[in-house]
Each structure stands twice: as structure tokens, then as C-alpha cells.
Amino acid sequence: MWRLLALIVTDLMAAGPGLSSTLLDDTDPSPLFKPVDVVGLHLRNRLVMAPMTRQFSPGGVPGDDVVAYYRRRAPSLGLLITEGTYVDHPSAGASDPVPRFYGANALAAWRKVAGAVHAEGAAIFPQLWHLGAQRKPGTPPFPGAPVVSPSGVDTAGRTVGETASAQTLADIAASFARAAADARAAGFDGVELHGAHTAISSTSSTGPPPTAATMTTAATSAAASGSAPRSRRPSGRPSARTSRSRSASRSGRAATTTPGSPRPRTSWRRSCPRW
């Protein structure tokens, strides 16, 4: 573990004297390597791997190379958050090799990933993703699906897609809920929701993100009951069940963890309902 810290410090030293000479002054790094309990989830240290989009899953199904990728990183970390994974709404994604978090083959592969990480002593969350206004028209895995966001407008104020109806937002919320329940069934320790760059959970036609009230309440209730509202799923995809959390890449993260009762509870930097 100290070797890892030494590598970090070495990189900082190479970056130049201004930053490296002051960044760690009077800093005791030892708490980073101490165990911590977060909303009932025990982590062996406080080092977390952030989600990083990779696009190494042809057809949206992670292969053995993806299992090995996460296994190699697990021994030094307390928690890993996977690359972004598409939920099961047709408008969610824009790239065929980005992994999906639905369908029997993809979920079986993610179960292997979770098992490999746990075998190395770390915890793991999948990052659940709907691109929202960031998606480009005509892109796979469902080229015919419309671009959907709460406002239909991107961050520059341009109309890029459809303004989502209340029913469409409910359908997308249910997709996140099913993915969270599938994550639990596959052995994951919680979920993180991608909420940056106009992804669906970060945008609203009226200002503040609607997800804390709408998606959290609906999906957590569904998780507690073991069922989720049905939505317009991609054809040929098996149904799943539910749970929910909100998070954002670089704009505030939240996490949902599996241990304990399904009763909602809060912690970390925003609302974090338990399974």
C-alpha cells in the first residue's frame, strides 16, 4: 500500500516544484489506509477507483478481459466503481461496446466481475448511465431511439432531442431501479448513478435535478417490495427488478449499499438510500 502512495508522490514530484513541494506538507496520509464503514458497507481502506469509460465490451457484454481488468485493480483498493453501464431504456446509450447492465449475458458477466473483485477483498459498485441530452441521434445500440432528456435542451441551450413526458421519465426511473436490483442480485455492494454532462439524472426542465425526489422515492420503494414498475424495455430483453441512488461524476456523488434492511438511509455527500 505504501508503494502505491510512493508512486503517487513520485508523479507529483515530476509535475513540478510548485505543486509537489506543498501538496503533502503537514499531511498524514495514514487515514487513507484505515478501514471505514459507510452506510453499513465495510471498506478495508479509503481508496476508491473512480468510474472510467472504456468501451471494451463488444455488443455491450463484458468479456474475461474486463473481469481481469477489475481484478487487477482490486487488491489495493477499498471500493471500485465500474465504468459507465447503460440501463435498459432504448434511449440510454450511444455506443455498442459500452457495457450494458441488463440482459442475461451481460448480467452473468458482471456477476463474474463482482466475484473477482470480492475475491481480492474489495467492494464494487456499477455506475448506471443514461446519456440524456448528451446522446447523438442514430447511435447504437438502438439507432432508432430518440434523444430524450427532461428538457430536450443541452447545456448550450440548443434543442437536441425530445422533451421527456412524465411517463417517459417514470420509465427511465424504472430502468435505473431494475438495474440496481440486478446489481444486488449479481453480488454488487451498491450502485452509483452517472449524473454529469447532461446525463439524465443531472438535468431538469425546471432547474434542480428531479431525481432525488422522483427516482429515489419510486425506486427505493420498488427495491423494498422486490418489484419495479414495467417500462418500455428494449425488445428481447428479459425483465428485472429495482433499487436506486443518485450520484454525479465530478458534481457530487451518492451511493447505494446492499447490507442491512431495505429501509432508506442517508450518508455520503447526497441522499444514499440503502437497498
Query: 80-132: per-residue pLDDT in tens?
Result: 999 999 999 999 999 999 999 999 999 999 999 999 999 999 999 999 999 99
Give 175-212 pLDDT, tens digit per residue.
999 999 999 999 999 999 998 776 776 554 434 333 33
The predicted pLDDT at position 168 comes to: 94
Q: Is the pLDDT of residue 69 over 80?
A: yes
pLDDT band at 28 (very low <50, low <70, confident <90, very high): confident
Q: Which residue has the higher pLDDT, 65 or 212?
A: 65
Are 149 and 161 contacting, i.e. CB atoms less than 8 angstroms apart? Answer: yes
Q: Which residue has the higher pLDDT, 52 or 246?
A: 52
Q: Where are the domains of the chain?
A: 34-257
pLDDT band at 224 (very low <50, low <70, confident <90, very high): very low
Burial class (CB in 10 A: 0-12, 13-18, 19+), 213: exposed
Burial class (CB in 10 A: 0-12, 13-18, 19+), 7: exposed
Cell of 52: 472510467
C-beta neighbour count of 220 within 10 angstroms: 24
CATH topology of domain 34-257: TIM Barrel (3.20.20)
The predicted pLDDT at position 154 comes to: 86
| pTM score, whole prediction | 0.69
Are 46 and 89 contacting, i.e. CB atoms less than 8 angstroms apart? Answer: no
Q: Which residue has the higher pLDDT, 275 or 65?
A: 65
Cis peptide before 238, with omega less than 30 degrees from 0?
no
The predicted pLDDT at position 83 comes to: 97
DSSP, collapsed to helix, strand or coil, labels residue 150 as coil
DSSP string spanning 55-67?
---GGG---HHHH
Burial class (CB in 10 A: 0-12, 13-18, 19+), 198: buried
pLDDT band at 19 (very low <50, low <70, confident <90, very high): low
Q: Is the pLDDT of residue 71 over 80?
A: yes
DSSP, collapsed to helix, strand or coil, labels residue 132 as helix
